[in-house]
Amino acid sequence: QLVNMGSFLNDVIDRFEIIAVEKNITFKRKIANSPVYVKIAPDKLMQVLDNVISNAMKYSPEGEAIKIQMLQKEKFLQISIIDKGMGIPPESQTKIFERFYRVDKARARSVGGTGLGLAIAKELIQAHNGEIWAEGEYGKGTTINITLPYLNDQEGEHEL
Ligand code: ATP
Ligand code: MG
């Protein structure tokens, strides 16, 4: 299935904005208007974005903004979810994609979850020839980057 990534992202963020009100969290969007299509199952993509965005919300203090941007590079789309929360220690930035791995058990227990979200996300993104990785400074925030190959205009028109 083909997903128009920009409008898909906007729909997902619209939905999150409703629940984010409670935590006084706002979203800043930097998403190109032009349609860019990715071949992926929408429900799977939704699962990945749901987890990454809810992580950003879970691990951010009240009142912070979360930035979500989509950049169209030459060969792939890059989606970044940027929060100003507690961040992840550098040595854990690859481990968070392992099953059941959670940074700081005590802190993790208090926010709830199983530690499976990012492991599932990584499997899904890699199965679509994409990448997912974490960046950021411990104590200052986290950026989760996702890349996915997109269809060029001709291919897109052909399939639609
Ligand atoms: P689940 O997603 O299964 O409900 P979870 O959110 O704990 O549980 P993952 O989504 O796999 O599991 O994340 C793994 C761990 O990575 C988290 O427990 C948390 O310690 C850390 N983490 C993930 N995203 C962030 C973030 N945006 N800021 C700080 N820590 C994060
Ligand atoms: Mg999670």
Candidate of 25, 96, 110, 143 to mutate for ligand 1, largest count of ligand atoms within 8 Å of Cβ: 96
Q: Is 136 helix (H, G, I), strand (E, B) or coil?
A: strand
The average pLDDT across 132-158 equals: 87
| Predicted confidence (pLDDT) at residue 103 exceeds the cutoff of 60 | yes
| Bridge-based pairing state of the strands 65-72 and 76-83 | antiparallel
Q: Say if the ipTM goes beyond 0.95.
A: yes
| Predicted confidence (pLDDT) at residue 124 exceeds the cutoff of 60 | yes
The average pLDDT across 138-144 equals: 96
**Residues facing residue 72 across a β-bridge:** 77
Q: Ligand 2: distance of its center to the CA of 118 in Å?
A: 6
Alpha-carbon gap, residue 124 to 74, rounded angstroms: 22
Which residues contact ligand 1 via a Cβ below 6 A? 51, 55-56, 59, 83, 85-88, 96, 102-103, 108, 113-119, 142
Q: Ligand 1: distance of its center to the CA of 69 in Å?
A: 20
Portion of the chain with pLDDT greater than 70, in percent = 92
Structure confidence at residue 30 (pLDDT): 98
End-to-end CA distance of the chain: 10
Candidate of 23, 55, 84, 93 to mutate for ligand 1, largest count of ligand atoms within 8 Å of Cβ: 55
The average pLDDT across 153-159 equals: 54
One-letter amino acid of 10: N
Q: Ligand 2: distance of its center to the CA of 157 in Å?
A: 36
Q: Ligand 1: distance of its center to the CA of 96 in Å?
A: 7
51-90, pLDDT tens digit by residue? 999 999 999 999 999 999 999 999 899 999 999 999 999 9
- C-alpha pair distances (Å), 28 with each of 21, 50, 61, 87, 90: 14, 16, 16, 19, 25
